Amino acid sequence: MSPDPHSASADLGYASVGEVLDWLDSGEVTSELLLSTLHERVSALEEEGPALHAIAGLDERALEDARRLDDERRRGERRGPLHGVPVLVKDNIEALGLPGLAGSTSLENRPSADSTLVRRLREAGALVWGSTNLSEWANIRSSNSTSGWSATGGLVANPWALDRSAGGSSSGSGAAMAAGYGPLAIGTETDGSITCPASLNGVAGLKPTVGSVSRDGVVPISHSQDSPGPLARDVDSLSRALEVLLGRPREVPERVRFSRARTWSTGHPGTDALLERVLDDLGRDLDLLDTRPPVPHERVGEDELTVLLCELHDDLSAYLAARPGEGPRSIAEVIRHEDAHAGRELVFFGHDLLERSLATGGRAHPDYAGARERNLAWARETLESALGEGDVALSGAYAPAWKSDLVNGDHPAGVSPAIQAAAIAGWPILSLPAGLVGELPVGLTLVARAGEEWALLEAARHLERLVAPVGRPTWTVPGRG
């Protein structure tokens, strides 16, 4: 085990959004200095050090943008609440100056315009300086895939233990926040793609209510379940980001009632034991309502996959057909490209999910409507049962990070049913660091009803003060402890 060998840049790299804004307002640092330091840190950790493969691309114009933001600040001008704050975005989100490839070599052309969410970030003064690597096509390509791997970016490593998974599909966003690559990153989630990397990398991550944050210019999977959302190291940073992404100020609820979903365990003994202790401790400070929601049966997962593959057929095809420049115009063309470039695209696993999606014919498939109806009924029943009279339900998130295996794919040791239920219903969900199991971080999951992001964040803010911080990654190297 070794400490971060690049601690000189860590003080700036591990700052929260609030701390960065305080430093910028006081003149203690400038956006240019902050960004230069982050560039040095990325270079040290990606090129000279452990090679996290967390970064997909850097915007060559970002230093010039930083100087412009600094000049505006000196003149007393503020574009918005994130003026001068560096932000990374997942590489399935279109941003001028960044790849926007979704990890695939088929999307050769760079975006010709900012996505709506990136435009909102820039209008708020954010310095969008780089994009993060991800599970290719956001983990909807193969049933035997390895989270965090893409043909364009390689395999993202977990800063806590470099042979462990960073989760997916917002793998690079989670690893970047754990590695001290600035105060804020944006990911996307269909089912677990923000909460999993947040839990495995020991950071905070929020998936807002589906449809509340613009998905324009985001490579899609499912209009029923997709949502962009922020990852950071503290709840306040998530709140500041959400204000911008939603386009409205935060609302502080008068009170938040907590429910403890006792049947929402991960199935991993060490993780569940830790979370039991954490929730028992919280129960001494909070009035926790006990609930026992039903857990998913096998049909739930089968129905969800049917829905996702049918919606992928329609949603991704429409996106590809409308994307400017060269590149595939359909899922069939993506498959043909990957077959033609198998030495790079198919070296570790195939694309059976893309093939199955193509075969569905989309939402017109006779199984689609019934699968979605059953899925929603189960998800809403289990979520309402979990909440009961409460506003926010608490449970575990994921077992600790598993060893990455490019041959056999992912093998997580456990996950809370909260993740799937919230994903299917489109309700907001947040992962907050809860502690360490075997020197690896695990998260606490918070779920609220649709549209209740501010109750979720207020609850998380309160819990953050009560739960001991997990600290910074240990950078364990395989074979060295």
Q: Which residue among the candidates 9, 16, 31, 90 is catalytic per the annotation? A: 90
User: Does residue 395 carry a catalytic annotation?
Assistant: no
Strand residue runs (E) in 254-378: 258-261, 288-291
Q: Which residue among the candidates 16, 31, 131, 193 is catalytic per the annotation? A: 193
Three-state SS at 224 = coil
Residues 6 or more apart whose CB falls under 8 angstroms from that of 164 comprise 157, 158, 200, 400, 401, 402, 403, 404, 440
Q: Which residue among the candidates 145, 169, 227, 239 is catalytic per the annotation? A: 169
Phi, psi of 177 (to 5 degrees): -70, -40
Q: From CA 136, how far away is CA 315, in angstroms rounded?
A: 17
User: Does residue 193 carry a catalytic annotation?
Assistant: yes
Are 120 and 244 in contact, with CB atoms under 8 Å apart? yes
Q: 419: number of CA atoms within 13 Å, CB side?
A: 25
Number of other residues whose CB lies within 10 A of the CB of residue 61: 12
* Two structure tokens written together for 423: 């994903």
* Two structure tokens written together for 89: 């975005």
Residue at 445: amino acid letter:
T
**Any idea which residue has 């990325």 for tokens?**
42
User: Does residue 169 carry a catalytic annotation?
Assistant: yes
Residue at 164: amino acid letter:
R
Q: Helices 417-425 and 298-322 meet at what angle, rounded to 10?
A: 50
As annotated, the active-site residues are 90, 169, 193
